[in-house]
């Protein structure tokens, strides 16, 4: 018999442990399917107080992994994982202009799955946006209420995406 302790060691923490937008989702962005414009214009959605990017994936390209390892920071929060099995690699990065530019450059040379399967951005106060199954045209980017609508409108105009108010189900 396999014990829970063995399973926890093999799979890591429960996938629902950590921060997520949940009911704090205010906007839903559709029509965004590429990481390059996302990273190039992400700064328009970020607060002046700083933010961290969370990237999670199971098939990241070697040069992407190397970049993420070199620029990784200590997590400000644990984030709800989008992948349970296989156990994904996870990285937290400062959302600085240099990092965003470098991520956009990497994204211009790689398929979205070679960058990440899931991409979220958070501050010390909590999650501000989450993109499960990032790059999949059918999967929206969820944006929290802390992002002003005028900034979201500008981001969407630059990336060719659309946004609407989140409707709770």
* pLDDT tens for each residue of 82-92: 998 999 999 99
Asked if 154 contacts 143 with a C-beta cutoff of 8 angstroms, the reply is: no
Mean of pLDDT values over 101-116:
97
Going by pLDDT thresholds of 50, 70 and 90, the confidence category of residue 136 is confident
What CA–CA distance (Å, rounded) separates 24 from 73? 25
Q: Is the pLDDT of residue 165 over 70?
A: yes
| The predicted structure's pLDDT at residue 84 | 87
Residue 135's pLDDT band, with cuts at 50, 70 and 90, is: confident
Which of the residue ranges 82-86, 102-106, 152-156 would you say has the lowest mean pLDDT?
82-86
pLDDT at 3 over 90: no
In the chain, where are the structural domains located?
16-165
Section 48-66 average pLDDT: 97
CA distance readout (Å), 20 to 42, 78, 81: 18, 9, 9
pTM, two decimals, is 0.90
pLDDT at 5 (0 to 100): 30
Report, as an integer, the average pLDDT of 39-46.
Answer: 97
């Amino acid at each position: 018999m396999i014990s829970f302790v063995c399973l926890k060691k093999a799979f890591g923490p429960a996938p629902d442990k950590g921060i997520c937008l949940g009911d704090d989702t205010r906007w839903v962005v559709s029509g965004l399917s590429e990481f390059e414009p996302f990273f190039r214009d992400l700064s328009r959605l970020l607060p002046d107080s700083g933010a961290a990017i969370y990237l999670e994936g199971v098939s990241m390209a070697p040069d992407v992994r190397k970049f993420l390892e070199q620029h990784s920071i200590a997590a400000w929060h644990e984030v709800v994982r989008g992948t349970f099995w296989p156990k994904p690699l996870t990285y937290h990065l400062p959302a600085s202009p240099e990092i965003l530019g470098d991520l956009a450059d990497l994204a211009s040379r790689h398929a979205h799955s070679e960058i990440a399967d899931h991409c979220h951005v958070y501050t010390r106060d909590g999650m501000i946006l989450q993109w499960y199954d990032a790059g999949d045209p059918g999967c929206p980017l969820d944006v929290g209420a802390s992002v002003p609508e005028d900034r979201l409108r500008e981001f969407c105009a630059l990336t060719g995406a659309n946004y609407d108010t989140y409707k709770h189900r």
